[in-house]
Amino acid sequence: MHRYRGNGSDPAGLAAPRTNPLRKEPMPLLSPDTLAHCELCPRRCSADRAHGGRGICGAGGTLKLARAALHLWEEPPISGESGSGTIFFSSCPLKCVFCQNHEISTGNFGLEVPEERLVQIMLELQEQGANNINLVTATQWAHLLPHSIRAARARGLTIPIVYNTSGYELVDAVAELGDLVDVWLTDFKYASAGLAASLSNVADYPAIAEAALAQMAREIERRGGTRFDDDGLMRQGIIVRHLVLPGHVADSLRVLDRIWNSVGDVPISVMNQYTPNAAMRRQGGELARAVTDEEYERVLDHADDLGFTTMYWQQGGAVDESFTPAFDTTGVLSPAIAPTARRGQS
Ligand code: SF4
């Protein structure tokens, strides 16, 4: 049974109408004009990205991409056999201390490209056999998505759009993307505000992620619910990801509780691939090690106990950093040749 929680009690005021102070009328959140006072993500830092400013996320005014290539190690209904067409966007609103994609999330690595190139990349990935277009951490560039996705559709893009996100999304943004995004591949990282503050510098993450997830569920329900094709690939729906962190199993259990209490029996992906980055290894402590089998089993068992009927889990554990996708701008200026070799994280 699905239980959708409304957002009326959200302390962040996520359902408030969006307005541009320079206009008399409300404007769509995902508009090119948004950049003059950027509030694309829950940080709402109001950076003037339209005139040379950069937000907390690190993004400026021109689209920046780090990689665009087929990727074989997402969840089975996303990657299938021929791969997911992943597009890694530069910058990130979150600042996770353990991030494995730090070159692009905090280093803002990537190449600046015009929006037209994003449209071309989607069509190229489809041409290469991608099962879907997988937009990885596109939150800070979401104002470009409505036009680019519609332009790609008009030029022959038929495969689903997967929105691969940290979960730190405004309800308004999810609603405005609701007709364009087919699959929400969303993280739910923390249940504790304190842990979210200490590890990602966003104390409001749990409330924001829960409200965003509930809106994703409403969007999918509005469109008729979850759909798979004959090959088992997800054509429409939600997969909620949770990365188990070493030493933080109690929070993982509470994350599962929040997902269950918010949207019920949604497909979940519980991951144990946490790998300490160089900063975490230097720092020492719990986050300098991998997740133990016992820790992972406790989280999987709790998901079973709650009643989740579709759960993806991982064999093996931490991955060597050599398996991290090479953020070398492959596919950004011209089509990529070889698929990547590791599950993407947002
Ligand atoms: S997307 Fe970036 S610039 Fe915009 S509100 Fe969020 S952090 Fe600020």
Per-chain mean pLDDT for the chain: 88
Range of the domain at 48: 32-323
Determine the average pLDDT of the residues in 12-40: 59
- Does ligand 1 have an atom closer than 6 angstroms to the CB of 80? no
How many angstroms does the Cα of residue 345 sit away from the middle of ligand 1?
20
Coil, helix or strand at residue 262 = helix
- Does ligand 1 have an atom closer than 6 angstroms to the CB of 42? no
Strand partners, 270: 242, 313
In a domain, 1, yes or no: no
List the residue whose alpha carbon is closest to atom 3 of ligand 1.
55
Say what the pLDDT of residue 19 is: 41
In a domain, 340, yes or no: no
Determine the average pLDDT of the residues in 36-52: 95
- Does ligand 1 have an atom closer than 6 angstroms to the CB of 173? no
How many angstroms does the Cα of residue 39 sit away from the middle of ligand 1?
6
d(CA 224, CA 334): 37
Query: Closest Cα partner for 145 from 110, 187, 106, 182?
Result: 182
How many angstroms does the Cα of residue 62 sit away from the middle of ligand 1?
13
How many angstroms does the Cα of residue 129 sit away from the middle of ligand 1?
33
161: phi then psi, degrees, rounded to nearest 5: -100, 120
Strand partners, 163: 135, 184
- Does ligand 1 have an atom closer than 6 angstroms to the CB of 45? yes
Say what the pLDDT of residue 341 is: 43
Say what the pLDDT of residue 324 is: 60
Determine the average pLDDT of the residues in 243-271: 98
How many angstroms does the Cα of residue 286 sit away from the middle of ligand 1?
31
In a domain, 112, yes or no: yes
**Number of domains composing the chain:** 1
In a domain, 330, yes or no: no
d(CA 85, CA 306): 33
- Does ligand 1 have an atom closer than 6 angstroms to the CB of 29? no
- Does ligand 1 have an atom closer than 6 angstroms to the CB of 197? no
Instruction: Quickly count helices (H) and strands (E) in the chain.
Output: 10, 10
- Does ligand 1 have an atom closer than 6 angstroms to the CB of 152? no
In a domain, 19, yes or no: no
CB 233 within 8 A of CB 80: yes
Say what the pLDDT of residue 232 is: 95
In a domain, 27, yes or no: no
CB 336 within 8 A of CB 129: no
Strand partners, 237: 183
d(CA 120, CA 117): 5
Q: How confident is the model at residue 108 (pLDDT cuts 50, 70, 90)?
A: confident
pTM for this predicted structure: 0.89
Provide CB contacts within 8 A for 116, sequence distance 6+: none
- Does ligand 1 have an atom closer than 6 angstroms to the CB of 43? yes
Query: Closest Cα partner for 171 from 8, 329, 21?
Result: 8
Which of residues 4 and 52 earns the better pLDDT score?
A: 52
Over 50: is that where the pLDDT of 274 sits?
yes
In a domain, 45, yes or no: yes
Q: How confident is the model at residue 30 (pLDDT cuts 50, 70, 90)?
A: confident
Query: Closest Cα partner for 133 from 270, 273, 235, 30?
Result: 235
CB 184 within 8 A of CB 205: no
For a substitution probing ligand 1, which of 14, 30, 33, 39 has the most ligand atoms within 8 Å of its CB?
39
For a substitution probing ligand 1, which of 29, 33, 45 has the most ligand atoms within 8 Å of its CB?
45
Strands 84-89, 133-136: pairing kind: parallel
List the residue whose alpha carbon is closest to atom 6 of ligand 1.
41
CB 266 within 8 A of CB 259: yes
Q: Helix 205-222 vs helix 193-200: angle between axes, to the nearest 10 degrees?
A: 100
- Per residue in 67-97, pLDDT (tens digit) is 999 999 899 999 999 999 999 999 999 989 9
d(CA 343, CA 128): 19
- Does ligand 1 have an atom closer than 6 angstroms to the CB of 38? yes
Please identify, by atom number, the ligand 1 atom nearest to the C-alpha of residue 45. 8
List the residue whose alpha carbon is closest to atom 1 of ligand 1.
140
- Per residue in 176-229, pLDDT (tens digit) is 999 999 999 999 999 999 999 999 999 999 999 999 999 999 999 999 999 999
How many angstroms does the Cα of residue 87 sit away from the middle of ligand 1?
19
In a domain, 342, yes or no: no
How many angstroms does the Cα of residue 289 sit away from the middle of ligand 1?
32
CATH number of domain containing 252? 3.20.20.70
